[in-house]
Structure 1
Amino acid sequence: MGANKITAMDVARAAGVSQPTVSRVFSAGGSVSPALATKVREAAVKLGYRPNTLARSLTTGQSKTIGLIVAYLDNPFYTEALERLSRSLKEMGYNIMIFMAANEARDVDEVVQSLLDHQVDGILMASISMSSELTDRLADEGVPVVLFNRGHATAAVTSVTSANALGGRKVAEFLLAGDHTRIAHISGWQGASTGQDRLAGFVDTLEAAGLSPHSVIDGMFSRAVAAEATRKLMTSRTPPDAIFVGNDHMAFAVLDTLRVELGVRVPDDISVVGYDDVAMAGWAAYDLTTVRQPANRMVQAALAELMAQINGEDHPPRTIEIDGPLIIRGSARRPAGDI
């Protein structure tokens, strides 16, 4: 018998159970004893049965699929977060459908339409900005949406981020405590709320201490732009004695440029601080002082908010900011005392 002709009833007969029991085994959240589930799955494997998820979605009104839109995966933070998202969704009985999109309204709109055509149960947008028009459209259509690591100017959609302004403040306080006086910032893209908020927290704290930034350069979340910004800073008449970089992805390029290309000693000549605390930050080659984005807690918060919408819970959109610690390593001069 061909695999495409095997039905749930065939599996039920082979396992000696009812057809509804087979359906519960292959449905997320179905209540079946472990022993019975094992018996059914063994029969399904032996017969070559494949559950018809499309037919189930037509019956239940749910596809058990979540759409993820991401602008780029060059930044290791997003690959780590994606792994956590995928694992958590699988445990919850969901599949994940990933689409790439540039941060342009037309491109995002096209990708969203593709996800809607696939009848996804909800959409996560990572590092993507939403226009007010798109926000209104999805709200009108009742599509659950959560922004991940990106805020929304009007707070019309739920977003989950790290506490970006607070993180910028922590970096400024740390560098001030280390007696740095010429502190530059290679910021994240200033078209993104994350880059804006980290810059604001950093600059506000310096100015409260009576110090202006040595310079601020938009790094565009690009390694190449960050490397060029480093060359510009270090060949200026008075180079900085510290650089706060808007994310680790750019900070690695800054460290490579300083150490390998320019022969600058880190942290003897200059301190470097990043933001994210991706796995590479702890490698001996970088040993990067950085603010940790609590990716696991951010993922769990984003999924909790999305599932609440999918399940019809009625609560207004909100912004969730999750604090993360400053991780002190060897790329920055340590203050003499505690901070």
Structure 2
Amino acid sequence: MVAQKVTSAEVARLAGVSQSAVSRVFTPGASASAKTIEKVRKAAKELGYRPNVLARAMVSGKSGIIGLVVAYLNNQFYPEALEKLTNTLQERGYHVLIFMAARSAGNVDKVVEEILDFQVDGIIAASVALSSDLSNRCRAAGIPMVLFNRAQDDRDMSAVTSDNIAGGRKAAEFLLAGGHRKIGYIAGWEGASTQRDREAGFVAALHQAGVMLHSREVGNFGAEDARGATRRMFASDPPDAVFVANDHMAIAVMDSLRFELGLNIPEDVSVVGYDDVAVAAWPAYDLTTVRQPANRMVAETVDILLRKIEESDAEPRRVEFDGPLIVRGSARIPEGWKT
């Protein structure tokens, strides 16, 4: 026999309050006295009542749900960032649904189409890019979206990133100051704005110093691809320093250099990464890297999205946060460099 679902009317009768009072208690942002809240929650617990969030969304037009889209979680930066995003949104009274999507625009579009069916109030897309058609569809549906750690040419799309061009420049300037001239670069996925901008800043700083990029391989932001890129790069005329487009790859590069190629870091080759994930500080890696200011990026992403939810005519914003170079032991430290 299927148990009958407890209704808000039953909770109201047991608590001795009106049905609208029950509704206010379970509606984020609605007001109710402390006494009413205590009585309603006690009655709800006794009866096993749970409010129907989706039904409330159909009435109010607001679900209190944010869709969070991410392409992959093997890079430590994203689990850490998603935890921060989820906690921050929950503190602001929102629930979070996480959706996984492959990096190609077609797969991302399919996932976002599904998200729209959940009546979400807004979408945060982390590490993914959208087609222009889907961006327009979200705008037409009145669903605001913010890109996290990605940007794209659509100037109407809000985006929050670190200053990837400046970060690339810092990596180059550090390696040049350490006396390196045979400098390689292992790129991430070439469809990503983060990859493009980090490389652009890095190469521009090298050229400004009269140094050409010695070698380049593509690691696609993946560990196995990064190991293959390392083997190819060091097969002949190897560089004496490598900038790797993120820490997830840099860790794999360091393992390959040490345990496959028998090289010492930083004596034989310096390695610099990007992100400053937790593993970067482990003594086994002690990775010099450009830090992404994740806390500031998360706070700004949430502020932009919620402002757009509350004010539909709010202008799109693009924000870049400068991140410091964190100097550790994986790269030769220039004489007199302040750490």
- Matched residues in 2 for 1:39 and 1:323: separation? 49
Q: Which residue of 2 aligns with 1:152?
A: 152
What aligned pairs does 1:218-237 form with structure 2 within 5 A after superposition?
218-237=218-237
Q: State the 1:202 CA deviation.
A: 0.4
Measure how far apart 1:317 and its partner are.
2.1
For residue 299 of structure 1, what is the amino acid of its counterpart? V
Secondary structure of 1:267's counterpart equals: coil
TM superposition shift of 1:37? 2.9
- Structure 1 CA distance for aligned equivalents of residues 207 and 33 of structure 2: 62
Q: Give how far 1:43 is off.
A: 2.5
- The answer on 1:282 being equivalent to 2:281 is yes
In the alignment, which residue of structure 2 is the partner of 1:84? 84
Q: How many residue pairs were aligned?
A: 337
**Secondary structure of the corresponding residue to residue 51 of structure 2:** coil
Aligned counterparts of 2:36 and 2:319: Cα–Cα separation in 1: 41
> Aligned-pair distance for 1:36?
4.5
Partner residue in 2 for 1:114: 114
Larger CA deviation: 55-64 vs 192-201: 55-64
CA contact (8 A) 1:3 1:47 kept: no
Partner of 1:72: 72
- 2:170 paired residue number: 170
Amino acid across the alignment from 1:31: S
Task: Give the equivalent residue in structure 2 for 1:323.
Answer: 322
In structure 1, what is the equivalent of residue 21 of structure 2?
Answer: 21
Tell me the amino acid that sits aligned with residue 59 of structure 2.
T
TM-aligned CA deviation for residue 33 of structure 1: 4.6
Aligned-partner SS, 1:257: helix
Specify the SS of the correspondent of 1:5: coil
**Any runs of at least 4 consecutive aligned residues in structure 1 with deviations exceeding 4 A, and if so which?**
33-36
The aligned amino acid for 2:25 is: V
Q: Distance in 2 between matches of 1:142 and 1:265?
A: 55
TM-score normalized by structure 2? 0.94
Q: Is the 8 A contact 2:186 2:229 kept in 1?
A: yes
Q: CA RMSD in A?
A: 1.8
Tell me, in whole angstroms, the C-alpha distance in 2 between the residues paired with 1:5 and 1:171.
Answer: 60
Contact persistence 1:189–1:195 (CA under 8 A): yes
Instruction: Return 39-48 or 261-270, whichever deviates more.
Output: 39-48
CA displacement 1:132-160 (0-9 Å, x = unmatched): 22222222232211111111123231111
Asked whether 1:8 is paired with 2:8, we answer: yes
Displacement, 1:80?
Answer: 0.8
Q: Report if aligned partners of 1:3, 1:48 keep a CA contact under 8 Å in 2.
A: no
In terms of mean alpha carbon deviation, does 311-320 or 120-129 score higher? 311-320
Task: Tell me, in whole angstroms, the C-alpha distance in 1 between the residues paired with 2:156 and 2:69.
Answer: 18
- Indicate if the aligned counterparts of 2:217 and 2:233 stay in contact, CA closer than 8 A: no
Partner of 1:247: 246
User: Alignment identity in percent?
Assistant: 57
- Structure 1 residue 200, shift from structure 2 partner: 0.3
How far 1:281 moved relative to its partner? Answer: 0.9
Q: 1:135 to 1:337 in 2, by over 3 A?
A: same
Q: Is the 8 A contact 1:162 1:322 kept in 2?
A: yes
Q: Distance in 2 between matches of 1:145 and 1:4?
A: 39
1:271 and 2:270 aligned: yes
Q: Tell me by how many angstroms 1:195 deviates.
A: 0.1
The reply on whether 1:131 has 2:99 as its aligned counterpart is: no
1:193-235 CA-partner distances (Å, limit 9, x unpaired): 1000000000001111111111122221111111111112222
Gaps of 5+ in 1: none
Give the 3-state SS of the residue equivalent to 1:269 in structure 2.
coil
Looking at structure 1, the residues matched to 151 and 143 of structure 2 have their Cα atoms a distance apart, in angstroms, of: 18
Corresponding position: 1:214 with 2:220: no
Tell whether 2:179 aligns with 1:179.
yes
Quote the Cα distance in structure 1 between the aligned partners of 2:208 and 2:259. 35
Distance in 2 (CA, whole Å) between partners of 1:329 and 1:311 is 44
In structure 1, what is the Cα distance between the partners aligned to 2:11 and 2:252? 56
Question: Structure 2 regions of 5+ residues with no counterpart?
Answer: none
